[in-house]
Amino acid sequence: MTSLKGRDYIETQDLALNELSLLLDTTAELKEKFHRGEPTLLLPHQTAYLLFFDKSTRTRNAFEAGMTQLGGHAHFLDVALTQISHGETAADTGRILGAMGHGICVRHDLVLGEGNRYMREMAEATDVPIINMQCDVDHPTQTLADIFTMRERFGKDVSGLKIAVTWAYAPSYAKPLSVPQGLITLMTRFGMHVTLAHPPGYDLIGRTLDDAKNNARATGGSFEIVDDMDAAFAGADIVYPKSWGVHELMLERQLATTQAAIDENQRACLAMNDKHKGWICDERRMALAKKEAVYMHCLPADRGYEVTDAVIDGPQSIVFQEAENRLHTAKAIMACTMRERPFV
């Protein structure tokens, strides 16, 4: 019988398919009970620490509300107000929080090469589950909600569906790479045909591309990379246009030693984005996808830049259903890693 009790949830690649299926089945049960108004006090009196190195809306509220609904308590920890800001290590923080509570959830997504490593160092130091609320490599709580939402729309067997994971223009800031990386690695695990589209220079990190290729070979799906947003949308069942930063420029920013250098790097990132303002999800592009295709986004979307209002508010958009599902997948992850087999 599949059990995830005591297991870390850092990348979806770390879990077997039957373990991912357990999380999805548990999500379905928890969502059904939530809408029937039935209590799901699976983690009474347990404590989850929510450690944030970055801002959050959906993730923080999904985990805080989710832990309340499971009968436990979530402690929000702003890293700037902890001893981490004074140099306390991941291992020491993990040992202390793990001794006081039952799970540690971490968001550390803005610095390439750091977030994922931090979580794994913490996991080595404590026996309680470490749950990745987004790192530099993966956003496994988001993508689990994404595939759950796809299964609600298209049925449990999503193999053979085409998803277009494409870069989109945004003028706001250099966004993390973890969502597109998480999508290409998870959707290929389920036999989907994944097309990744981005302008030159917006490459994802190499190991996630390798994982996507290997996953597709193992499951009978496919994975391709194109530099044309229209080509990616053509014949797609699901479109997921999302902005992310320039990998090389983001690495350069980490070497900056002054605020002026950091600001200059940010301007360079946004200037490169400005060269590709045509990469927007609009009605014309949606018409290139299948008639029954759906639009998805992790949110928040840069309206008028990544996507038009007509698309995100239109009948093909399922972003708000997707956002609600963040709650139920967060509950499933905590319930499955912090106790034995909640339902299935």
165 - beta bridge partners?
196, 240
Question: Which residues, other chains included, contact 324 with Cβ-Cβ below 8 Å and sequence gap of 6+?
Answer: none
Q: How many CB atoms lie under 10 A from the CB of residue 283?
A: 11
DSSP letter assigned to residue 203: P
Stretch 99-119: mean pLDDT = 95
Q: What is the DSSP string of 11-68?
A: -GGGS-HHHHHHHHHHHHHHHHHHHHT-----STT-EEEEEESS--SHHHHHHHHHHH
Q: Is the pLDDT of residue 172 over 90?
A: no
> Can you name the CATH fold of 12-139+326-338?
Rossmann fold (3.40.50)
Q: How many CB atoms lie under 10 A from the CB of residue 100?
A: 12
Phi, psi of 335 (to 5 degrees): -65, -40
pLDDT at 343: 66
- Two domains, one topology: 12-139+326-338 and 142-323: yes
Question: Which residues, other chains included, contact 308 with Cβ-Cβ below 8 Å and sequence gap of 6+?
Answer: 280, 281, 282, 283
CATH for 142-323 (3.30.420.10, 1.10.150.120, 3.90.1150.10, 3.40.50.1370):
3.40.50.1370
3-state helix, strand, coil in the chain (%, to 5): 50, 15, 40
The residue behind tokens 């090469």 is 113
User: How confident is the model over 51-95, as pLDDT tens digits?
Assistant: 999 999 999 999 999 999 999 999 999 999 999 999 999 999 999
Q: How many CB atoms lie under 10 A from the CB of residue 272?
A: 17
Q: Where are the domains of the chain?
A: 12-139+326-338, 142-323
User: How confident is the model over 302-332, as pLDDT tens digits?
Assistant: 999 999 999 999 999 999 999 999 999 999 9
User: How confident is the model over 274-298, as pLDDT tens digits?
Assistant: 999 999 999 999 999 999 999 999 9
Q: Residue 6, SS3?
A: coil
pLDDT at 132: 98
Q: Residue 75, SS3?
A: strand
How far apart CA 204 and CA 251 sit, in angstroms, is 12
Please tell me the pTM assigned to this model: 0.96
